[in-house]
Amino acid sequence: MGIDSSPATRSPQSPEAPPPAPAAGVIAPLPLIQQHHKPTVAERAAEGKAARKRVPRRSHAAWQPAADRPDPIALLEQQAAERSQDLVPIRYGRMAASPFAFYRGGALLMASDLASTPDSGLVAQLCGDAHLMNFGLFDSPERRLVFDINDFDETLPGPWEWDVKRLATSFEVGGRDRGFSAAARRKIVMDCARHYREAMSEMAALRAIEVWYARLDADLINQHIGALNASDSRQVAKDLSSATGKDSLRAFSRLTQVVDEQRRFRSAPPLLVPAEELLAGDERDRYKDAIEMALGSYRASLPHDRRALYDRYRYQGIARKVVGVGSVGTRAWVMLFYGRDANDPVFLQAKMAQASVLERFVGKSRYGNSGRRVVEGQKIMQSSGDILLGWYHVIGFDGLPHDFYMRQLWDGKGAFSIATMSERAWSSYAQMCAWTLARAHARTGDRVAIASYLGAGDTFDRAIADFAAVYAEQNARDHNALREAIDNGRVQAISGV
């Protein structure tokens, strides 16, 4: 993990070198897309059926921690070493709040565990952290509200089963957090697995271009949730409306204030802190140079038509903004720009990109810049993306090299209120997430082979439900280990922030 300072790291202006041939035991990136011979549909289906014999679908039910399983707290401490140390206690405090909160921050732990589980050998671009809270709403470039995966910090090619298992288990862990019965949780997880399987079968039958056009927009969401009870329907309608109004103008009123007749970022430490309050000594001297370098590198990463839009804006200021659970401690900034004038603001979020948690298990990314890895993964998996999505490499305020990716902070972004949804609504939400994940995998992996492997029966669905139930117990044990580490002083935690 960490910044790759080898000659392979290059600026956005440089052409990307072709990926090296994978070493033995390392997953090759998207082999179907790259190979010269394109197998027939029959050959692809046969590959999926052959994979069933090598790795029976029922084998996905198994989970048993290895005797040499890494200490989960040690893995978290490894991640903490590369983060802002003043924020690490906030991360531990947020993860300690509940087993579900711990699960959200435990992508590295689960990747380590999944590396020892069976997989079919079929590869797709993975989200890498496909839990239920990493799906949400945002505006497409056509200003249509869509539902899609919204977190790609860990994206990398790998076994598609890993994303499915992380998603399904999140509904099991989250259902426990909500107090749902074991029977209700199993139904929700089964619905999730079944809908992934059926969606992949649907994608396998589509023309390739239809897969790339497929998306879940607001109209389809309303059709999907039309059978919910009145309370759930009202809440979903409220969530959709709230996302529509979440834009840079709202961010402008919430994140900034007028000081000495100038608009500046609010100071609300530790969650929102203007950069000037964080810098001292040498960091202040490097401040302007780092911003100039970062924005120049970011601009170079944008397609030419998007540069024309970006060039209409003027940089105004920057602040550190703490986000998420698992991401807490990674450097995350929010930048304010003006277009025509102060009534035309836009906010861009710059988030540090590190090596994916998957890389130690499936091989390094083909991209020397981790920010580019995130951006390229997002573009290939999402049905429509942020028009200002880009990346950069910079010598930061701390004098160290860092990779970042940049996107709009609020652009119709929102989420469903799953904390208050009924069991029936959870099932509908699980189906939407599963369909979306299958669509993303179908864009990058061999959808015909994966669909053939999954088959028409519920063997895979039941195996995933079994896995989710037993892995949720492991997650609970790991959560308890974190609580104990906090209690005995091994790690420091700040709760309620």
* Token digits of residue 184: 């209700």
Q: Tell me the CB-side half-sphere exposure of residue 12, using CA atoms within 13 A.
A: 26
DSSP three-state, residue 394? strand
Burial 38-56 (b: 16+ CB within 10 A, else e): eeeeeebbebbeebbeebe
Please give the span between the terminal C-alpha atoms of the chain, in angstroms, as a whole number. 27
Going from N- to C-terminal start, the domains of the chain cover 39-243+419-487, 248-408
Tell me the C-alpha distance between 213 and 142, whole Å. Answer: 13
Is the pTM value of this prediction over 0.85? yes
Segment-wise mean pLDDT, segments of 10 residues, the chain, 497 residues: 31 40 47 67 96 97 94 95 87 96 97 96 97 91 87 97 98 97 98 98 96 87 70 82 80 89 90 87 76 94 96 95 75 93 93 95 96 97 92 86 93 84 92 96 97 97 98 98 97 91
pLDDT at 226: 56
Tell me the C-alpha distance between 491 and 207, whole Å. Answer: 52
Largest CA distance in the chain: 71
Tell me the C-alpha distance between 383 and 144, whole Å. Answer: 12
DSSP three-state, residue 403? strand
Q: Which residue has the tokens 């565990």?
A: 113
In this structure, the chain runs to a length of 497
* Token digits of residue 281: 């000594």
CA 191-194-198 angle, to 5 degrees, is: 135
What are the residues facing 126 on neighbouring strands? 156
Contact 347, 386 (CB under 8 A): no
The 272-274 sheet, strands edge to edge? 272-274, 314-321, 332-338, 345-353, 401-408, 390-395
